[in-house]
A and B are shown apart, each in its own frame.
Chain A
Amino acid sequence: MQGNIGSQQQNLGSQRTVVGPNQYQKQGLNGNTQGHTLAALKQQGVPGSSAEDEQKRRMRQEKFAANGASSGGGSNGQLVGAGGSQGGMGNGGNSSMQLGYQIANKPQRQLLQYDLDGSNQEYAHLPAVKGTSTKLEKPYFRLTQDVDPSEVRPEEVLHHTLKLLKRKWKAKEVDYAYIDDQFRSMRQDLVVQRIQNEFTVEVYEAHARIAMECADLDHFNQCQTQLNYLYKAGVQGHKIEFLAYKILYHLFCDMETDILRMLKHLTQEEKSSEPVKHALDVRSALAQGNYGRFFKLFKTAPNLGAHLMEIFIDKHRILCLIRITIAYVATNIDVTYLKHLLAFEKESAEDFLTKLGCKIMEGKLMCKESNAALKRAPLKLKQKMK
């Protein structure tokens, strides 16, 4: 069925047994497209192709033909409608992804197509939009004018989108730019529909984690602040994990006063949980100037804390090296020790040092000479992955 998308679009009218538009109208009146389950819809049998339905289908056909929706691009993340027992239902051609994300054909999930014509216009004037789009994937566009419900995906569709994106990210099929874009549009859809529940939290958490892995501090921070509001409002999620990330983030962005204020409000349970304890230990290690401890904690960071710390780790390595070159000035110091101290695991300590302009002789870092170079070294953060 999926291969025939192109042809199917033209043959819309013929042997389709669609869940009649009447059903959709009913949903429209209830204003609750989430009320029904997809399974239930799938089970709805043939309502018969009344003349009315035929006409509506033809109108739709023309409308989409007029829009020039191309059905060309392969089944990239389309929702191909194929009801449980009927084939050829709601083709995905109309809502195909024309956006050039050509990914190898994978069997797509089969869902019903929601009625995409004006039956939901009644909601356009309401503040919270009810989305009707069924595109699993959608790029991010800044909203400049009124929201078009047919562009917004309802929550159920977004559930599937999330699963799809997670799978793609794990399989490393896509790069960060794409995932970032997708997540932003998902978040936008959620905001526009005023959905603020566990699912929203899930989306934000997923985006935050991926942003951390790819060193995207901006988006991480955005997600993180939104998550705070949601947690405060009582929505469940991985509160403790993200509390630890928040502490680390504030620490590295020089917002120590904020951390202290946060400390005032922490409960005993939170304070004794492992991720939060780790984050607070990192804070005290830095406050004491105990770099050895700091790098040890970097190695043992729970959850994704290591990714977050990794963004700032080079900066701290340089700061630590400045102190070392001053303290060990008379005796110089072994590079192997530095490798151990500064938690160089896969990278080479020698490369790092020589890139900064330090002198290494006989496996030892020459402190006096390297000091000047280190002081001049730029304290860069790890750049966002492309």
Chain B
Amino acid sequence: MFPQDQESQSAFKKFLAGFILHLQVKQSAAKTKSNDVFNAFSQSFQGFSKICESHIMDGRWAGLVVDLMCKLMIHYALEADLDSKQNKAELDKIVEYTSAHSRLEKVYTQFQTLFRRMPQCATTSNAPNNATYSVFYLSLRMIKIRFKMNSYKDSESCFKWIDMQFEKENFNKSDFSISWRVTHAYLQGRLHIYKNELPEAREKLRFAFEHSHPGYPNNKRKILKFLIPVEMNLYNFPSEQLLTKYSLTEYLEISQACMKGDMVKFEQALSQNMDNFVFGGVYMIAERLRHLTLRNLIKKVALVVKKEPAYQQNGKASIVKLDLIFNILKEWDSQIDLDEIECIIANLIYMGFIKGYISHEQRLMVLSNIEPFPLRKQ
């Protein structure tokens, strides 16, 4: 039965005390400051860690309990952090938590100790969601913390650990609940975005999107928020319906501008929604769409040249004089000159958006005869 020694008893008491406070807060019976709640729950979590070692935590439900405790822990840490950010005066009184994510850091270290402890616990039940599986839930929570703190690089070790476990074939993927796998795919997708590996990101995010539970549209929205810019960079633009359905209208203007090749509108859309994008961590990918917009613009000019002999040079349809682009681009950037245009085009050629070459002396651009604006196969 439950170990009767002093240590375990006190650990259990700690756990109970904090957990009861949590239940009270949930029913808003106790109006306590978020910092106090956090401290109390922190104690409770410590108690809980201790209990985990005992054999009462054996059973097919252990993993889920660990997951719940972690989730609550993070929730209170975030609330307390947010609170102190907004109440700077109070912050001065609380000396120990000085940085914006200091509580999260503490939580992370607590998780780490639990992470190391859990695998050593002896378990008799073999099935999924037992104590050993709880480590996987823990690892996902730890990755989430790292993402919240914007330190993606540190989360890589957790990912690698998970991958290693699967490779060793100790665990079977199908054993895990769909929700775990969806979360895992979603987090992996975000990591790929951070590392600029767009095709892999698309794969993971699509998996997550397709398998996420239809009863929770919020999850789908979260996934889409990252999936859409990735798809746009891979020439797949969202329809207006999709965007309004999931209320992601910030992507509407930018995707329209990009498809049309409208530089002015693109910059406008980008700067208007900049806060949104930066906050959501997608600004960098959204900015990359600029190259695509430029490519579309130049392609349109090239098509006009093809049709109108008046604009052609020596009757050759594949030669585009830079003057033609100059006036249009001047609307977008008033300080631009022909040298800079050449630089930008050179960059597009380098990146594979345009096939052709430039002549500096004659100020023109010669496009390739076959597929001058290839859709890159990344």
A positions within 8 Å CB-CB of B? 256-257, 260-261, 263-264, 287-293, 320, 322-324, 326-331, 333-334, 337, 341
CB of B356, distance to nearest CB on chain A (Å) = 8
Of B283, B290, B335, B347, chain A has the most CB atoms within 10 Å of the CB of B347
Q: Which DSSP category, helix, strand, loop or mixed, fits chain A's interface?
A: helix
Interface residues of B in 245-302 (CB under 8 A from A): 274-275, 278-279, 281, 283-284, 287, 290-291
Q: A263-B274, A292-B342 are in contact. List 5 more A-B contacts (CB 8 A).
A: A257-B150, A260-B284, A263-B278, A264-B275, A290-B347
A331 to B357 CA separation, bound complex (whole angstroms): 8
Which residues in A have their C-beta under 8 angstroms from that of B283? 260
Chain B residues numbered 26-46 whose CB sits less than 8 Å from any CB in chain A = none
Nearest CB on A from B352, distance (A): 10
Question: A292 touching B290 by the CB < 8 A rule?
Answer: no
Name the CB-closest residue of A to B278. Answer: A260
Q: In whole angstroms, what is the CA distance A290 to B150 when docked?
A: 29
Tell whether, in the assembled complex, residue A323 and residue B278 are in contact, meaning their CB atoms are under 8 Å apart.
no
- A327 CA to B150 CA, complexed, in Å: 37
CB pairs A–B below 8 angstroms (14 shown): A257-B281, A257-B284, A260-B278, A261-B150, A290-B347, A292-B339, A326-B349, A327-B350, A328-B358, A330-B359, A331-B360, A334-B360, A341-B339, A341-B343
> What sequence of 0s and 1s flags, for each residue 346-378 of chain B, a beta carbon within 8 Å of any chain A beta carbon?
111111000001111100001000000000000
Select from chain B the residue with minimum beta-carbon distance to A281.
B335
- Using CB atoms and an 8 Å cutoff, list the residues of chain B in contact with chain A: 150, 274-275, 278-279, 281, 283-284, 287, 290-291, 335-337, 339-340, 342-351, 357-361, 366
Given contacts A260-B283, A287-B290, A292-B339, A328 and B278 within 8 Å (CB-CB): no
> Contacts A287-B287, A292-B340, A341-B339 hold; do A330 and B346 have CB atoms under 8 A apart?
no
Return chain A residues, CB-CB under 8 Å to B342.
292, 327
Which residues of the other chain, B, contact A337 by a CB distance below 8 angstroms?
360
Asked if A326 and B350 sit within 8 Å, CB to CB, the answer is yes
Label chain B's interface by main secondary structure: helix
**Which residues of A sit under 8 angstroms from B274, Cβ to Cβ?**
263
List B contacts of A320 (CB < 8 A). Answer: 343
B278 touches A327 (CB 8 A): no
Complex contact A330–B366 (CB within 8 A): yes
CB pair A330 B343 closer than 8 Å: no
Minimum CB distance partner of B335 in chain A: A293
Residue ID in chain B nearest A329 by CB atoms: B357
Q: Looking at the assembled complex, report how far the CB atom of B190 sits from the nearest CB atom of chain A, in whole angstroms.
A: 13
- Could you tell me the distance between the alpha carbons of A260 and B281 in the complex, rounded to whole angstroms? 9
A290 adjacent to B343 (CB under 8 Å): yes
A333 CA to B358 CA, complexed, in Å: 10
Q: A329 — which chain B residues lie within 8 A by C-beta? A: 357
**In this complex, what residue of A is CB-closest to B275?**
A264
In the complex, A264 Cα to B279 Cα: how many Å?
9
B290 contacts A291, CB within 8 Å? no
Known: A256-B284, A260-B283, A291-B347. A327 touches B291 (CB 8 A): no
Instruction: Report Cα–Cα, A88/B358, bound state, in Å.
Output: 79
Chain A residue nearest to B284 (CB atoms) is: A256
**A293-B340 contact, Cβ under 8 Å, with A257-B284, A329-B357, A331-B359:** yes
- Chain B residue nearest to A264 (CB atoms) is B278
- Most central of A263, A289, A323, A329 by chain B CB within 10 Å: A289
Option from B278, B335, B343 in Cβ contact (under 8 Å) with A261: B278
Cα A257 to Cα B335 with chains together (Å) = 27
A333 CA to B348 CA in the complex, in Å? 18
Q: A288 to B360: give the CA distance in the assembly, Å.
A: 20
6 closest A-B pairs (Cβ-Cβ)?
A289-B347, A327-B346, A292-B340, A292-B343, A323-B350, A291-B343
Q: Chain A residues near B346: list those with CB within 8 A.
A: 289, 291, 323-324, 326-328
- B253 CB, nearest partner CB in chain A, Å: 19
Complex Cα spacing A320 to B344, Å: 11
Q: Are A289 and B344 in contact (CB under 8 A)?
A: yes
Tell me which of B349, B351, B360 contacts A333 (CB under 8 A). Answer: B360
- Measured between beta carbons, the chain B residues less than 8 angstroms from A330 are 357, 359, 366
CA distance A48 to B359 in the complex (A): 90
- In Å, the complex CA distance between A288 and B266 comes to 13
Q: Which residue of B278, B335, B348, B366 is within 8 Å of A289 (Cβ)?
A: B348
Q: Which of A289, A323, A326 contacts B291 (CB 8 A)?
A: A289
Contacts of B360 in A (CB 8 A): 328, 331, 333-334, 337
A334-B342 Cα distance, complex, nearest whole Å: 14
Q: How far is the CA of A322 from the CA of B343 in the complex (A)?
A: 12
Cβ-closest chain A residue relative to B360: A333
A160 to chain B, nearest CB (A): 34
> What's the Cα separation between A320 and B287 when bound, in Å?
20
Residues in B neighbouring A324, C-beta threshold 8 A: 346
A337 to B344, CA, bound (A): 16
Closest to B290 in A: A288
Give the chain B neighbours of A289 by CB distance below 8 A. 291, 343-344, 346-348, 350-351
Taking a contact as CB atoms under 8 Å apart, the answer to whether A323 and B150 are in contact is no
A352–chain B nearest beta-carbon distance, Å: 18
Q: Which residues of A contact B366 (CB under 8 A)?
A: 330
Residues from chain A with a CB closer than 8 A to the CB of B349 are: 323, 326-327
User: Which residues of chain A are near B279, meaning CB under 8 Å?
Assistant: 264
Partner of A327, one of B281, B357, B361: B357
Which residues of the other chain, A, contact B336 by a CB distance below 8 angstroms?
Answer: 293
B337 to chain A, nearest CB (A): 8
Say how far B184's CB is from chain A's closest CB, in angstroms. 23
- Collect the chain A residues with CB atoms within 8 Å of residue B340's CB: 290, 292-293
A13 and B318 CA atoms in complex are apart in Å by 97
- CA A328 to CA B349, docked complex, whole Å: 10
* A330 to B281 alpha-carbon distance, docked (Å): 41
Complex: A328 Cα to B356 Cα, angstroms: 9
- Of all chain B residues, the one with the shortest Cβ separation from A330 is B357
What is the CA–CA distance of A287 and B347 in the complex, to the nearest angstrom? 11
Q: Which residues of chain B are within 8 angstroms of A288 by Cβ–Cβ distance?
A: 290, 344, 347
Task: Report Cα–Cα, A341/B341, bound state, in Å.
Answer: 12
Of all chain B residues, the one with the shortest Cβ separation from A284 is B287
For residue B291, which residue of chain A has the nearest CB? A289
